Amino acid sequence: MAKAYERIADELRQSIRAGRLRPGDRLPAETRLAEQTGRSVPTVRDALRLLQAEGLVEKVHGRGNFVRRARTRVQRANSRHQWEKDRARQPAEKRARTGVAEHDTGLTVDDLVFHAAYREITANADIAEAFGVAEGTELIERSYRTRYSAERAPFNLVTSHLVRDMVAANPDLLDETKEPWPGGTWNQLSTVGIEIDRIEERVTARPPTAEETEELDLPPGTAVVVLRKTSFDTDGRAVEVSYSTLPGDRTEMLFTTHLERW
Amino acid sequence: MAKAYERIADELRQSIRAGRLRPGDRLPAETRLAEQTGRSVPTVRDALRLLQAEGLVEKVHGRGNFVRRARTRVQRANSRHQWEKDRARQPAEKRARTGVAEHDTGLTVDDLVFHAAYREITANADIAEAFGVAEGTELIERSYRTRYSAERAPFNLVTSHLVRDMVAANPDLLDETKEPWPGGTWNQLSTVGIEIDRIEERVTARPPTAEETEELDLPPGTAVVVLRKTSFDTDGRAVEVSYSTLPGDRTEMLFTTHLERW
DNA sequence: GAGTGGTCTAGACCACTGT
DNA sequence: CAGTGGTCTAGACCACTCC
């Protein structure tokens, strides 16, 4: 004997899968569903919460419960790294025209809004290990936010770290008012003689913290994807460590691996 | 004025972050928390649900609510592909000794339990496009499950597709009783003259379906990571398409990208 | 203002865990 | 068995949306 809220959820789930309820349609009001099923409103709400967690239903306060539409996805391919590397040595005029975010989304600079902030911090154990330096080493921490002009919430939160001594030869790199920098980090590093040779990216998914839910405007039940990127120069030294927090429901990552021939 | 359940959640969250409640500790009973905070039990339960969605609290029926411990992670690196390719041409005795799952987990074949099942299906639009063949083309669909011997639930669900005509030259590839095949798919394909040259992996995260929650024994609020892998041979032809469903809270993926030198 | 979902109460009863 | 969380009820009142 199944639980009441599961049976209600099953019925609605089937209506959605069978197309009797289509994306964007409003479900019957909670009080109405309670009458129809002969259950109390809280029990109906338990069923709707289940469907919300599955991404099938979206609750909108004051308007109703809706069958969820697929959201536009942002693709991010590791081929972007070679592209960024190539772009870093283009003339300044060409570098300014498009950034890696536009490369990923296929949009122009006018469709996107950036925000950058710099801070000086010291390395914690985790970052120190990634860079292979002592804990407490001085770092530049740069935080980036990117969003569509048309939307309120950013689609990523990026925190990037550089070792201060490694980049201090070019004082402009310590100055946030120079953002956005044409050609981005890759060009910045090239001004102090650093060439990037290899990128390691670690991808995990986890539930969002309360702060991330707020800032990325995540619907309940959506996970965030955390991408930790380490860039190594031609000497095998880690030169940049960054963390990207991405909304799990609208991010697709594409990684291509080339193999040695037999 | 914050909502009651949020205030209760904040208090508990702070106790956990400050270390007054440590991983594995039991929280006060729900009735007890209701008394302490002067709220009803359902309101306390709303607070606990919030913390559960954040991965901070684990609810155990009949025992209590607990501060969640970090779970053991399974790492999966794209260096596994070169490793698998190399292994495919080792002698059979060497191939049998260890598989790619052991390579990822660092365990031996005795720690892991496999289950394989074959089916013959026809290509839907999505898979047909990936293979570059017509819809309705005959495919072999193979489903794999892997779990730790000590645990009930598998840590992945894998569905792999091959075009039937491409592999029919070796009838053993159509026979599920030959599993586990020493050297895996890579060796299987080499028996019909296929060498894999390039791998594309698409990673997304999404809420689990009701079936996946059941089969992977996922705690509520945990996302699944879906990895869609396409293998291309030396002629650039797609020869295998597979979908892996992984529990988001215990999977880390590592991708290394090598770049051209300046 | 009418209709919607969001918060909260007070309590009954069931299901699971450990002793 | 005692103690825990899980399900469910019946309803009050608030907050939001749209007309």
Using C1' positions and the CA of A52, the closest nucleotide is C5
End-to-end distance of chain A based on CA atoms, in angstroms?
Answer: 58
Among B3, B204, B211, B218, the residue to mutate for chain A (most A Cβ within 10 A): B204
Q: Give the position of tokens 């040595």.
A: A89
List the structure tokens of B64: 């209590």
Instruction: Provide the phi-psi class of B188: left if phi over 0, else alpha when psi is between -120 and 50, else beta.
Output: alpha
Show the tokens assigned to B154: 């598998």
Please report residues of B whose CB lies closer than 8 A to that of A81: 257, 259
Asked if A78 and A87 count as a contact pair (C-beta separation under 8 A), the reply is no
Q: Are B197 and B240 in contact, with CB atoms under 8 Å apart?
A: no
Q: Tell me the HSE value of B253 on the side-chain side, using a 13 A CA sphere.
A: 26
CB < 8 Å to A234, chain B: 261
* Cα separation, B248 vs A229, whole angstroms: 19
**Is a pLDDT exceeding 70 seen at residue A1?**
no
Q: Which residues of B121-151 are buried (b: 16+ CB within 10 A; e: fewer)?
A: eebeeebbebbebeeebebbbbebbbbbeee
Which chain A residues are within 8 Å of B258, Cβ to Cβ? 197-198
- Asked if B61 reaches chain A (Cβ–Cβ under 8 Å), the answer is no
A204/B248 touch (CB, cutoff 8 Å), yes or no? yes
Q: B28-76 pLDDT, tens per residue?
A: 999 999 999 999 999 999 999 999 999 899 999 999 999 998 877 889 9
User: What residues contact A205, with CB distance under 8 A and at least 6 apart?
Assistant: A223, A224, A225, A226, A248, B205, B223, B225, B248, B249, B251
Q: Is the dihedral of CA A61, A63, A65, A68 positive or negative?
A: negative
Helix (H) or strand (E) holding B211: helix B210-216
Count Cβ atoms below 10 Å from residue A41 Cβ, excluding itself.
14
CATH topology of domain B4-67: Arc Repressor Mutant, subunit A (1.10.10)
Strand C: list protein residues with Cβ under 7 Å: A 27, 29-32, 41-42, 45, 59-65; B 3-6, 38-43, 46, 60-63
Mutant choice from A257, A260, A261, A262 vs B, greatest count of B C-beta within 10 A:
A257
Q: B-chain residues within 8 Å CB-CB of A228?
A: none
Secondary structure (H, E, C), chain A: CCCHHHHHHHHHHHHHHCCCCCCCCECCCHHHHHHHHCCCHHHHHHHHHHHHHCCCEEEECCCEEEECCCCCCEEEECHHHHHHHHHCCCCHHHHHHCCHHHHHHCCCHHHEEEEEEEEEEECCHHHHHHHCCCCCCEEEEEEEEEEECCCCCCCEEEEEEEEHHHHCCCHHHHCHHHCCCCCHHHHHHHCCCCCEEEEEEEEEEECCCHHHHHHHCCCCCCCEEEEEEEEEECCCCEEEEEEEEEEHHHEEEEEEEECCCC
Each residue's pLDDT, cut to its tens digit, for chain B (262 residues) gives: 578 999 999 999 999 999 999 999 999 999 999 999 999 999 999 999 999 999 899 999 999 999 998 877 889 999 999 999 999 999 988 898 877 888 887 777 777 888 889 999 999 999 999 999 999 999 999 999 888 777 777 888 999 999 999 999 999 999 888 888 888 899 999 999 999 999 999 999 999 988 888 888 787 778 999 999 999 999 999 999 999 999 988 899 999 999 999 8
Q: What are the boundaries of each domain within chain A? A: 4-67, 74-254
- Measured from the Cβ of residue A121, the count of other Cβ atoms closer than 10 Å reads 13
Q: Within 10 A of B120 (CB to CB), how many other CB atoms are there?
A: 10
Task: Please name which of B221, B104, B227 lies closest in space to residue B159, comparing C-alpha atoms.
Answer: B227
In 3D, which of B72, B225, B75 has the Cα closest to residue A224? Answer: B225
- Rounded to an integer, the average pLDDT of A50-67 is 93
Which residue in this structure is represented by tokens 């992977």?
Answer: B216
The encoded tokens of residue A113 equal 């809004």
Task: Give the mean pLDDT of A63-77.
Answer: 88
Give the pair of three-digit tokens for residue B67: 């501060």
Which residue on chain A is closest to B256 by alpha carbon?
Answer: A200
Query: What does each C-alpha distance from B255 to A230, A231, B197 come to in angstroms?
Result: 11, 12, 17
Phi and psi angles of residue A33, each rounded to the nearest 5 degrees, phi first? -60, -35
pLDDT, residue B262, reads 87
| pTM of the complete model | 0.91
- What nucleotides of chain C have any atom within 7 angstroms of a protein Cβ? 3-12, 15-18
CATH class of the region A74-254: alpha beta
CA neighbor of B172 nearest in space, from B140, B145, B144: B140
How many alpha carbons lie under 13 Å from residue B100 in its C-beta half-sphere? 21
Rounded Cα–Cα distance for residues A180 and A113 (Å): 11
How many CB pairs (< 8 A) connect A and B? 148
Enumerate the β-bridge partners of residue A253: A76, B203
Provide the pairing of β-strand A251-258 with A74-77.
parallel
User: Is a pLDDT exceeding 90 seen at residue A262?
Assistant: no
- Min Cα separation B100/chain A (Å): 16
Mean of all residue pLDDT scores within chain A: 91
pLDDT in tens, A140-181: 999 998 887 777 778 889 999 999 999 999 999 998 888 888
